[in-house]
Amino acid sequence: MNARVRLPVHTDQHAPSYYAASANRSLAFPELAGDERADVCIVGGGFSGLNSAIELVRRGFSVVLLEARQIGWGASGRNGGQLIRGVGHDVERFAPVIGDEGVREIKRLGLEAVEIVRRRIEEFAIDCDLTWGYCDLANKPADLAGFAEDAEALRALGYRHELRLLQPGQMHEVVGSERYVGGLIDMGSGHLHPLNLALGEAAAAAALGVRLFERSPVLRIQHGAEALVHTARGRVRAKTLILGCNAYLNDLEPGLGGKVLPAGSYLIATEPLSEEQAQALIPQNMALCDQRVALDYYRLSADRRLLFGGACHYSGRDPADIAAYMRPKMLQVFPQLADVRIDYQWGGMIGIGANRLPQIGRLAEHPNVYYAQAYSGHGVNATHLAGRLLAEAIAGEQSRGFDVFARVPHMTFPGGRHLRSPLLALGMLWYRLKELL
Ligand SMILES: Cc1cc2nc3c(=O)[nH]c(=O)nc-3n(C[C@H](O)[C@H](O)[C@H](O)COP(=O)(O)OP(=O)(O)OC[C@H]3O[C@@H](n4cnc5c(N)ncnc54)[C@H](O)[C@@H]3O)c2cc1C
């Protein structure tokens, strides 16, 4: 029988996900009470905040990190766990603003981003089920033609990992489904347990001297030569502030909040499958993703559950029963799972930007406030890169990467906080209709 679990988006606890149930450490940081002082105050305890903290403390800065709920409570502790090369989409579009050299830099950094995750895990010996191997899945022949071009472009960039195109008759090598007409295997991308990665990074940050606080939502920012950040029971005074709240920023900094649109994405986890079942579904234990606007993404967990994700709700409303909503999507791909139990269901908020390039920069009106957000559903690698680039910029190091990202302008979604979701929902409906034609 399907579990019937409601999504507690507004509680302080982790979502009732497979990840929360299989977290391999339990960390508890205090609530902020009283006054703290730091070189840098970071708001948000997801991958963006944690990686900025690690990079900064290593450069000799004193750092306070404030998380509204628990470390990894946001998208970082709930996502599909797919660690995929690249940042942004169609980055050539930005050539008129950042030049061909800037485009090349972003592409290069999109590959470096995965290496930062790899090194972080190795260096701190973080146990998070890291597994290499990923395959892009073609829904139509044009996707496959695009994969061939992607592979060429990656090789031209010096990508050192195995890439292999799969023709329709070869798809059984990676997926036990009749749904796809080709694929591109990439052995330099893969999958991991995202909450265990976030918890491992928080433990590493704490060991390096970062002062972390949980259950400490920032309620107000007083800007100035030093930023003064207020929570219910405390304050942090810092020369520099980083906002790493992504889709959960809301009105804390309205100018930034208007540039990121929260969209719900949802996952289900089956009961553990037998070795034979798992082998028949995903023979090489890769992460898999199709090419549609509202894409399916899935993989096996370390204990052989199918973690199946997808959908994108721009309406601001979560499905009342996520399993009932997601299971038919899973059965379209794997009808052979009709009798398999769903053990977990959960969702989280993706932060979408209008041009789908991560927004990494500093506020023009408050130059001591930096931010990283809007990874548009592809942030496991990009958040780690953002942490590095923010730290380089704050430390005054030469950072071509930060400069390139910061030069790209980002549109504010029209309609204000309450109207921008319905407007985008309409836009996305148009793209889905086009896919069907
Ligand atoms: C369901 C789902 C599936 C996804 N799958 C993938 C995937 O497979 N691969 C991939 O690359 N990307 C995926 N993503 C995207 C990826 O998870 C995100 O891009 C990334 O985790 C963003 O990290 P972050 O640290 O910027 O934000 P978050 O992890 O969302 O963290 C922001 C934190 O800020 C805190 N916060 C907000 N306001 C305040 C405040 N006022 N005071 C203090 N703290 C505050 C929040 O509590 C939250 O913990 C997925 C996202 C979702 C939701």
- What's residue 287's pLDDT? 98
Q: In angstroms, rounded to a whole number, what is the distance separating the alpha carbons of residues 131 and 109?
A: 21
Q: In angstroms, rounded to a whole number, what is the distance separating the alpha carbons of residues 286 and 189?
A: 9
Indicate the SS3 state at residue 112: helix
Which of 128-137, 310-319, 390-399 has the weakest average pLDDT?
310-319
Q: Which helix (H) or strand (E) holds 98?
A: helix 95-123
Say how many Å lie between the CA of residue 352 and the centre of ligand 1: 11
- What's residue 8's pLDDT? 42
In 214-260, DSSP assigns E strands to: 220-222, 227-230, 234-243
pLDDT value at 4 more than 50: no
In sequence order, what DSSP letters do the residues of 66-77 get, joined into one string? E-SSSTT-SGGG
Residue 168, Cβ density class (10 Å: 0-12 exposed, 13-18 middle, ≥19 buried): middle
Q: Are 27 and 200 in contact (CB under 8 A)?
A: no
Q: Of 206 and 422, which is predicted with more confidence?
A: 206
Q: In angstroms, rounded to a whole number, what is the distance separating the alpha carbons of residues 267 and 19?
A: 11
Which of 146-155, 182-191, 412-421 has the weakest average pLDDT?
412-421
Task: Report the atom number in ligand 1 closest to the C-alpha of 80.
Answer: 8
Say how many Å lie between the CA of residue 410 and the centre of ligand 1: 19
Q: In angstroms, rounded to a whole number, what is the distance separating the alpha carbons of residues 314 and 91?
A: 24
pLDDT value at 25 more than 50: yes
Token output for 385:
């890169």
Q: Are 146 and 203 in contact (CB under 8 A)?
A: no
Token output for 218:
């920032």
pLDDT value at 2 more than 50: no
Say how many Å lie between the CA of residue 408 and the centre of ligand 1: 22
Q: In angstroms, rounded to a whole number, what is the distance separating the alpha carbons of residues 141 and 148?
A: 11
Give strand pairing partners of 164.
Answer: 185
Say how many Å lie between the CA of residue 279 and the centre of ligand 1: 31
Q: In angstroms, rounded to a whole number, what is the distance separating the alpha carbons of residues 197 and 54?
A: 13
Task: Report the atom number in ligand 1 closest to the C-alpha of 267.
Answer: 1
For ligand 1, atom 14, name the residue with the nearest CA: 377
Phi then psi dihedrals of residue 143, to 5 deg: -65, -40
Q: Are 211 and 57 in contact (CB under 8 A)?
A: no
What's the rounded mean pLDDT across residues 396-400?
94
Task: Report the atom number in ligand 1 closest to the C-alpha of 71.
Answer: 49
Distance of CA 147 to the CA centre of its chain: 23
pLDDT value at 111 more than 90: yes
Q: Which helix (H) or strand (E) holds 35?
A: strand 34-43
In sequence order, what DSSP letters do the residues of 41-54 get, joined into one string? EEE--SHHHHHHHH
Say how many Å lie between the CA of residue 46 and the centre of ligand 1: 6
- What's residue 416's pLDDT? 65
Pocket test for ligand 1, best of 375, 376, 385, 389 (most atoms within 8 A of CB): 375
Q: How close are the terminal C-alpha atoms of the chain, in Å?
A: 37
To which residue do tokens 């034609």 refer?
A: 437
Say how many Å lie between the CA of residue 196 and the centre of ligand 1: 14
Question: How many CB atoms within 10 Å of residue 244?
Answer: 30
Pocket test for ligand 1, best of 27, 76, 297, 371 (most atoms within 8 A of CB): 76
* Average pLDDT over the chain, rounded to an integer: 93
Q: Which helix (H) or strand (E) holds 327?
A: helix 322-333
Phi then psi dihedrals of residue 138, to 5 deg: -90, 125
Say how many Å lie between the CA of residue 96 and the centre of ligand 1: 30
Dmax over CA atoms of the chain, in Å, equals 64
Q: Are 403 and 390 in contact (CB under 8 A)?
A: no
Task: Report the atom number in ligand 1 closest to the C-alpha of 289.
Answer: 8
- What's residue 13's pLDDT? 83
Say how many Å lie between the CA of residue 311 and the centre of ligand 1: 17
Say how many Å lie between the CA of residue 315 and the centre of ligand 1: 18
What's the rounded mean pLDDT across residues 98-112?
97
Task: Report the atom number in ligand 1 closest to the C-alpha of 198.
Answer: 29
Pocket test for ligand 1, best of 42, 64, 79, 349 (most atoms within 8 A of CB): 79
Q: Are 75 and 352 in contact (CB under 8 A)?
A: no
**Strand pairing class (234-243; 34-43):** parallel
Selection from 242, 190, 232, 194 nearest residue 360 by Cα: 242
For ligand 1, atom 19, name the residue with the nearest CA: 379
Say how many Å lie between the CA of residue 43 and the centre of ligand 1: 12
Which of 5-19, 91-105, 204-218, 314-328 has the weakest average pLDDT?
5-19
Q: In angstroms, rounded to a whole number, what is the distance separating the alpha carbons of residues 391 and 165?
A: 38
Task: Report the atom number in ligand 1 closest to the C-alpha of 348.
Answer: 53
Ramachandran area for residue 384 (φ above 0: left; ψ -120 to 50: alpha; else beta) = alpha
Q: Are 241 and 368 in contact (CB under 8 A)?
A: yes
Residues with CB under 6 A from ligand 1: 43-49, 66-69, 73-76, 78-82, 84, 217-218, 244-249, 252, 265, 267, 297, 309, 347-350, 375, 377-380, 383
In 330-381, DSSP assigns E strands to: 342-352, 359-362, 369-373
Say how many Å lie between the CA of residue 179 and the centre of ligand 1: 30
